[in-house]
Amino acid sequence: MTPELHNLAQHVLHGLSAPQKALSSAWFYDDEGSRLFQRIMTLPEYYLTRAEHALLRERVDELLRWIDPDHRPLDLIELGSGDGEKAVTLCRALHARHVDSTFRPIDVSAHALAELSRRFDEHLPRMALKPVLGDYLARWPERSPERHQVVMLLGSNLGNFDQVGACALLRRIRTQLRSGDVLLLGLDLVKDPRVIHAAYDDSRGVTAEFNLNLLRRLNRELGMNFDTGRFSHFASYCPLQAVMRSFLISHVTQVVHSTVLDREFTFAPGETLHTEQSQKYSPESIAELAELSGFAHTHLITGSEPRYALAIWHRPQDAS
Ligand SMILES: C[S@@+](CC[C@H](N)C(=O)[O-])C[C@H]1O[C@@H](n2cnc3c(N)ncnc32)[C@H](O)[C@@H]1O
């Protein structure tokens, strides 16, 4: 068994044995999951990608003034890069400024990294590109001591973690940075709950397929026998906590078996399996998170409609 399969097996054993069944959204991205997410990003309801990309395009001069004011050689590291559609915009701007930069994307999805490499070959063949296939919670792209690091966590990926998990990830990132290095976060802001809800429950059912694909992955990789026709996608936004949550609801009493785990899991009718959470932020909660995780909150670039933000944080001089 590969270490990745072992991790998945342990995660599923733990997550399906808990009183509230839950699995991490990090496991959505097998090849088919990555393909479905690429479709989600083009859906009319899924405003996040377009809003973030618009900020990266339209405010790129302002952004570069904050992340690389003196045109120093830099490593641009993207955690969970996906297909690199937005990164290519920023890399193009760095290239145009003749900044000596290397792009180091890290992603668990081989499919996403293949798409990214194809995109860079086509649009920026001269950019130094060093992709890493792996889990950014476990490894870090190679670093060169003489270059400054700009780390990007885009797509509101941070929102997939609860407050404790987000702080743990941010502190881990901080330990990889030297004083003056930069963290660039793409964060979705609170807005009309109906707009947020529609983004995670689109009318064409692509998000539902994306959610159900997790069960297909478990069938294939853990020898499970989920009948996806007996589960439905359910998405719910809580304005009080500013959090969007996705679930799979079991239609009937059913027992699902895994040959790899040699275990059965019982679902009751109406029982929910929690599969994703997406925290939404306010400018105040972003500043608070920076303080909690030991970063200096340097600058916030916000778009108007739909509201989205790029937060620029620095590792302060005295952080340990
Ligand atoms: C929501 S997509 C965002 C992609 C891209 N950053 C963007 O903004 O469009 C999340 C990406 O992060 C990757 N990912 C999720 N958890 C990861 C982890 N722990 N380590 C590495 N990649 C991860 C997934 O494979 C997927 O490509």
Q: CB of 80 within 8 A of CB of 153?
A: yes
* Residue 241 Cα to ligand 1 middle (Å): 24
At 217-242, the pLDDT tens digits run 999 999 999 999 999 999 999 999 99
- 272: in domain: yes
Query: Would you say residue 94 lies in a domain?
Result: yes
Confidence band for 319, pLDDT divided at 50, 70 and 90: very low
Query: What ligand 1 atom has the least distance to the C-alpha of 33?
Result: 25
Residues 210 and 261 in one domain: yes
Mutate to test the pocket of ligand 1, among 4, 41, 109, 161 (most ligand atoms within 8 A of CB): 109
Lowest pLDDT segment from 49-53, 69-73, 271-275, 312-316: 69-73
Give a yes or no: residue 9 inside a domain. yes
Same domain, 25 and 163: no
- Same domain, yes or no: 180 and 232: no
Domain that holds residue 60: 47-191+280-314
Pair 180, 296 in one domain: yes
108 domain-assigned: yes
Q: State pLDDT tens for residues 50-104.
A: 999 999 999 999 999 999 888 899 999 999 999 998 999 999 999 898 889 999 9
Same domain for 96 and 175, yes or no, is yes
- Which ligand 1 atom is at minimum distance from the Cα of 80? 12
Report the pLDDT averaged over residues 270-282.
98
| Residues 84 and 107 placed together within one structural domain of the fold | yes
What is the domain count for the chain? 2
- Is residue 320's pLDDT more than 60? no
* pLDDT single digits (tens) 133-182: 999 988 888 878 889 999 999 999 999 999 999 999 999 999 999 988 99
Q: Which residues line ligand 1 (CB under 6 A)?
A: 26, 29, 34, 37, 49, 80-82, 86, 106-109, 112, 135-137, 154-155, 157
Q: Is residue 262 part of a domain?
A: yes
Residues 88 and 212 grouped into a single domain? no
Looking at the domain assignment, is residue 319 inside a domain? no
Tokens linked to 207: 């998000």
Mean of pLDDT over the chain: 94
Please tell me whether residues 36 and 160 are part of one structural domain: no
d(CA 9, CA 261): 7
Q: What is the CATH number of the domain that holds 90?
A: 3.40.50.150
Same-domain check for residues 103 and 133: yes
Q: Are residues 35 and 112 in the same domain?
A: no
pLDDT tens for residues 241-253? 999 999 999 999 9
pTM above 0.85, yes or no: yes
Give the C-alpha separation, 301 to 312, whole Å.
8
Q: How far is the CA of 263 from the centre of ligand 1 (A)?
A: 29
Q: Is 303 contained in some domain?
A: yes
Q: In angstroms, what is the span from residue 107 Cα to ligand 1's centroid? A: 6
| Closest ligand 1 atom number to CA of residue 82 | 27
Residue 91's identity, in one-letter code, is: C
Which positions ≥6 away from 52 have C-beta within 8 Å? Answer: 86, 154, 155, 156, 186, 308, 310
Average pLDDT over residues 185-194: 97
Backbone angles phi, psi at 192, to 5 degrees: -50, 120
- Within this chain, do residues 103 and 210 fall inside the same structural domain, yes or no? no
- Is 136:106 a contact under the CB 8 Å cutoff? yes
Say if residue 180 is in the same domain as residue 292.
yes
- Whether residue 320 lies inside any domain: the answer is no
